[in-house]
Amino acid sequence: MLAVVYGLEKFHHYTHGREVVVLTDHKRLVSISKKPLSKVPKLLQNFLLRAQQYNYTLRYKPGKDIPLADTLSRASTSKPELEEIMSVNNLTMQPIQDHRLAEIRQQTVEDSNMRALAEVIAKGWPHNKESLPNSVKLFFDYRDELMVQDGLVLRGQRIVIQHAMRSEMKQKAHAGHLGINTCLR
């Protein structure tokens, strides 16, 4: 996909601001690009920020219908920035102590629903909700925001807490809360 961005840089000069239609065989990328930037996974935020300077529309088309898709995605370039690999660790930004993260990770491994969710995220989401286990169906609507990192399921930068720990985590999150009226005053 980075090759397309650099292709757009060259093409932008020749189109003089006219809209460019970009065909992709990555269906989730189309839906992700329509979300607010804060809801997009960190790895794609940089890409979408750089692409904002162009007037383009991203459209899905199956790979078999794009004759040059494989050729372009494998095309080499001499630009060094294409070879740069970005690694984003969402867990380093969490205000959670290491022992708490280890506890959440352990609970995630032991919880069958969370294991099923992590497996679906790793293998890829099906096209329809009906083919999912019941415990995973409620996550289908925001599947593009979910990822698994270091044994934890994340929705953007937030950790998905399994059912057994939710009441405890709510209590901890609201421990210093003095009530809505006090906060408003």
pTM of the model: 0.51
| Residue, of 173 and 140, whose pLDDT is higher | 140
Question: If you write DSSP's letter for every residue of 35-104 in order, what string do you get?
Answer: S-GGGS-HHHHHHHHHHTTS-EEEEE--GGG-TTHHHHHT---S-GGGS------GGGG----HHHHHHH
142: DSSP letter = G
Structure tokens at 15: 């189109």
pLDDT > 70: what percent of the chain?
69
Task: State residue 147's pLDDT score.
Answer: 86
**Alpha-carbon torsion (131, 39, 87, 11), positive or negative:** positive
**110-159 per-position pLDDT tens digit:** 889 999 999 999 888 888 889 898 989 989 988 888 888 888 888 877 88
pLDDT at position 69: 57
pLDDT score for 29: 82
Query: 136 φ, ψ to 5°?
Result: -100, -20
Pairing outcome for strands 20-24 and 152-155: unpaired
